[in-house]
Amino acid sequence: MDQLAIVGMEWVGALALFLACIVFVRYLDHRERMSMIERGLIPPARSPLHPRRGSALLRGGLITAAVGIAVTIGLYTLGYLLPAPFSAMPGRFGPWLLPGLIPTAVGLALIASYYLAPPRAEPTDDADRTDDEAAASRPASLPPVRLLDPRRLSASNDPDAAHG
């Protein structure tokens, strides 16, 4: 088999393994939340897998900018390998740097939009407020959350309890 095909299969396998790990962690998080709901508990609003809102924008910008910078640095060496007409610009800059400069600019724009956006209100703990105050502070689009009583659930599902 061709060496390039073997290297390509290794990369595809590594990517598949990475994605399978992400799916497995999300599945475990889902199972944990469903187990808490079945027991009548309210899952926490934020967990280590779900950071505060808006941080994904900053993280995405940092990753995109870093990848763009790495690609730009990698492509900069082409200026030294190309013949004289292509590398005649000062500093050996040329159009071959665009595949690295574009994601760098996008990443910097995402980082700037994170810092230029108005600040968001941090969620507060509803444990010290009454149910009416907690319901009033929630956005109107979300339904109110109620605690489930496991004893009432088991009594309503038990056919002997209804006849007994």
* pLDDT tens digit sequence for 9-42: 887 888 888 889 889 988 998 898 889 889 888 8
In this structure, are 60 and 14 located in the same domain?
A: no
- Report in angstroms the alpha-carbon separations of 140 from 42, 45, 115, 137: 19, 17, 27, 9
In this structure, are 39 and 59 located in the same domain?
A: no
- The whole-number pLDDT of residue 15 equals 81
Rounded CA separation 130/27 (Å): 33
128 part of a folded domain = no
The domain in which residue 18 lies consists of 1-50
The model's pTM: 0.43
Average pLDDT on 133-161 reads: 59
Cα dihedral 50, 53, 55, 60, rounded to 10, equals: 80
In this structure, are 37 and 92 located in the same domain?
A: no
164 part of a folded domain = no
145 part of a folded domain = no
- The whole-number pLDDT of residue 113 equals 87
